[in-house]
């Protein structure tokens, strides 16, 4: 049983849902990224997703794109991200996964990337641009090393393809709530609940919903139908304030925001 499998088994037994903040590695720097990860977990986040900066984001909106650009301008390297994570993960009471383009995994070499990820204490990979038709080799490596390979299903994914993706996914399914890119939204589509309900008839995997979630009312709407909720742009936007505000204030405000979302989960 992987760390993520064990986590969701524990949460289900306790009748609880997971909150998963997304953090860009290296914005404003890797030292602060480490502080942010520790703070959100201390405040109750069940998992943490760390974005590996990439020059051509796949589905990221302007907030996350800008954070990637800032990190790359500071020459954040994959090896440095792994080193930072290796120093953080041993003290965490929550699994950490990376959101990473397959171009980065391929350039490093899938075997090498997975080995280094495991050495850094990571529990899984989310690879948004890896087609299910080409996922088998990486899935086999991850399975051997007991790391979860988390894949995305969107509102426009045909149902036969959604079944195939679910069959090749481990850890949890990342269900994309909206058609389009990441970013904070005032409202979320009402059909999410029905789409997730259908997906539950096709898989026993936990289903975590992401994209657009930023408000307590979103959490109250989706927590009853999801096993976990992923919050990205709203977290990244708050972290970015560390470029011009005292870091202690930013960290405290971020922790309070995470606590507010958790309270809305009930």
Q: Give the active site residues.
A: 49, 60
d(CA 202, CA 222): 19
What are the residues facing 125 on neighbouring strands? Answer: 98, 149
Under 8 Å between Cβ of 176 and 153: yes
Pairing of strands 228-231, 207-210: parallel
Q: How far is CA 111 from the centre of its chain?
A: 21
Strand partners, 230: 20
Backbone phi, then psi, for 51, in 5-degree steps?
-85, 125
Which DSSP string corresponds to 33-99? HHHHHHHHHHTT-S-EEEEPP-SS-SS--HHHHHHHHHHHHTT--HHHHHHHHHHHGGG-SS-EEEE
Question: Whole-angstrom Cα distance, residue 230 to residue 245?
Answer: 25
Q: Give the containing element (helix H, strand E) for 145.
A: helix 136-145
d(CA 255, CA 250): 9
In which residue are the tokens 């990441």 written? 182
Q: How far apart are CA 160 and CA 157, in angstroms?
A: 8
């Amino acid at each position: 049983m992987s760390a993520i499998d064990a986590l969701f088994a524990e949460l289900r037994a306790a009748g609880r849902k997971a909150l998963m903040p997304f953090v860009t590695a290296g914005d404003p720097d890797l030292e602060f990224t480490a502080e942010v990860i520790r703070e959100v977990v201390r405040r109750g986040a069940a998992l943490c997703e760390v974005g590996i900066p990439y020059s051509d984001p796949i589905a990221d909106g302007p907030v996350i794109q800008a954070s990637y650009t800032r990190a790359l301008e500071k020459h954040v390297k994959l090896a440095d991200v792994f080193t930072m994570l290796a120093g953080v993960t041993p003290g965490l009471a929550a699994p950490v996964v990376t959101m990473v383009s397959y171009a980065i995994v391929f350039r490093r070499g899938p075997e090498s990337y997975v080995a280094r990820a495991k050495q850094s204490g990571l529990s899984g990979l989310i690879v948004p641009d890896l087609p299910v038709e080409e996922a088998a080799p990486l899935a086999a490596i991850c399975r051997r090393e007991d790391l979860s390979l988390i894949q995305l299903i969107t509102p426009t994914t045909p149902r036969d393809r959604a079944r195939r993706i679910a069959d090749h996914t481990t850890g949890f399914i990342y269900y994309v709530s909206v058609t389009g890119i990441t970013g904070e939204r005032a409202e979320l589509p009402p059909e999410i609940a029905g789409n997730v309900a259908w997906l539950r008839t096709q898989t026993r995997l936990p289903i975590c919903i992401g994209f657009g979630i930023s408000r307590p009312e979103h959490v109250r709407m989706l927590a009853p139908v999801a096993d976990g909720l992923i919050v990205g742009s709203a977290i990244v936007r708050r972290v970015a304030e560390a470029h011009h505000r005292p870091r202690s204030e930013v960290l405290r405000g971020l922790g309070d925001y995470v606590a507010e979302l958790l309270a809305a989960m009930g």
